Amino acid sequence: MHYWQALTLVIISGLGGGFISAVASLLQTGRTKDGYEAAKGVSLRTFVWGRGVLGIGGAFAVMLAIIVAGRYKDEATAVNLLFLTSVCLVAGFIGERLLTAVAKKVEDQIAAVDKKVDEKNQETQEYVKVQTTILQALQSLNTGEYDQTIISQYIKDLESGRQNSRFRLDRTLNMVLARLYADVKQDYDKAIAVLREFVKEKGKQGQNDVNVSDALYNIASYLARKIKTVPAGAKEELRKQALDALTQSVKIAPQNAKAAMHDPNQDFEIFYDDPDFKKIVDPGISTEPKKTDDPKPPTSA
C-alpha cells in the first residue's frame, strides 16, 4: 500500500468515525430549547467537525499502535483494507477518549525512559566517583602520605560505595577500605569487619575463590597485628581467630601458606614458633624469612 493510499484511508475512516460519534452523542442527549445538549453551547457544525477531527486523530493513534505492535500489513488486499478501515472507523468513533489514553500512555513511557536515564547517569557518576576514590586512596597508601582529613573522606566515600550492591563484592574497594582502617587508622576491628562482611557476601553468592582467600589472609594479618595491642588475657582468643582465618585462606589458595612465612610486613612473626602455625604453613619450612625469591603475599587490592 502506498503512503498516500494509507493516509487517505486513515483520514476518511477516522473522519467518518468522528461524524458517527457526533451524531450518536446528539441523539443520545437530545435537544433542548437552547440547542443540542451534547454540543455544550458550540454551533452544531463546529461540534460535528470537531468530533471528525478528533476521529482522525484517533485513527492515527490506532495506526501507530498497530505499526508499533508489528501488526501492520502493507499488502493492499481486500481483507487488509477492510481491517484497516474498520479499525480506523472505530478509532474515529472513540477518538476523544482514545487520544487522551494514548497521550497519557506516551507521557508515561517518556517519563519512565527519563527516569531510567537519570538513574543510569547517577549510577555512572557514583561508579566513577568510587573508582576515582579507590585510585587516590591506593596512591596515598603506597606513598605513605597520610592526610587524616583526606583519608577520612576516602573512608566515608568507600563506605558509601560499599552499600551499593554493585560494589558489595568488589575486591579492590573492600581491600583498600580495610587497608585504610588498618594501615592508617590502626582500627583493626573495622578493617576486619569490612573483610568479614565481604567474605560473607561472597559466600551468599556461592563464590569461594582467591578473592575470599586473600580477604581471609588479610583478616588473619590484622588479627595478628591486633594481638600486639591488647592485654595478655585477650591474646589467646585473637590467636585462635587469626590461625583459623589463615587456615581457611590456605585451604582455598595453598600458596598463601608460604606467603605467610615471608610477608614483608612480618605480621605473622609472632607465630613463627607456634606449633599450630607451623602445621598450617608446613612444618618443614624454615621460620627464618628469606631475602630473595620469596612468594609474594596476597595483594591488598
Q: Note the pLDDT of residue 135.
A: 92
Domain ranges of the chain: 3-93, 119-281
Report which listed range, 103-107, 240-244, 261-265, 272-276, is most confident: 240-244
Alpha-helical runs (H) found in the chain? 3-29, 44-68, 78-93, 95-143, 148-162, 171-179, 188-204, 210-227, 232-252, 255-261, 275-281
> What confidence category does residue 4 fall into, taking pLDDT thresholds of 50, 70 and 90?
confident
Residue 227 above 90 pLDDT? yes
Q: Note the pLDDT of residue 202.
A: 92
Instruction: Tell me the whole-structure pTM to 2 decimals.
Output: 0.59
> Which has more confidence, 239 or 35?
239
> Which has more confidence, 225 or 294?
225
Q: What is the largest CA-CA distance in the chain?
A: 113
Which of 202, 208, 298, 201 is CA-nearest to residue 255? 298
Q: Note the pLDDT of residue 290.
A: 46
- Neighbouring CB atoms inside 10 A of 294's CB total 14
Cβ-based burial of 246 (10 A; exposed 0-12, middle 13-18, buried ≥19): buried
> Which has more confidence, 121 or 148?
148
Summarize the confidence of residues 175-190 as an average pLDDT. Answer: 95
Residue 174 above 90 pLDDT? yes
Q: How does pLDDT run across 190-216, given as a tens digit for each residue? A: 999 999 999 999 999 999 899 999 999
- Neighbouring CB atoms inside 10 A of 110's CB total 10
> Which has more confidence, 34 or 274?
274
DSSP secondary structure code for residue 291 in this structure: S
Give how far Cα 32 sits from Cα of 37, 40, 41, 81, 216, Å: 7, 11, 11, 41, 88
Q: Note the pLDDT of residue 292.
A: 46
Summarize the confidence of residues 214-224 as an average pLDDT. Answer: 95
User: Which set of grid coordinates corresponds to residue 92?
Assistant: 474515529
Determine which of 84-93, 96-105, 289-298 has the lowest per-residue pLDDT on average.
289-298
> What confidence category does residue 164 fall into, taking pLDDT thresholds of 50, 70 and 90?
confident
Q: How does pLDDT run across 13-31, given as a tens digit for each residue? A: 877 777 777 777 777 777 7
| Three-state secondary-structure class, residue 156 | helix
Q: Note the pLDDT of residue 295.
A: 57
119-281 under CATH 1.10.569.10, yes or no: no
Report which listed range, 3-17, 220-234, 273-287, is most confident: 220-234
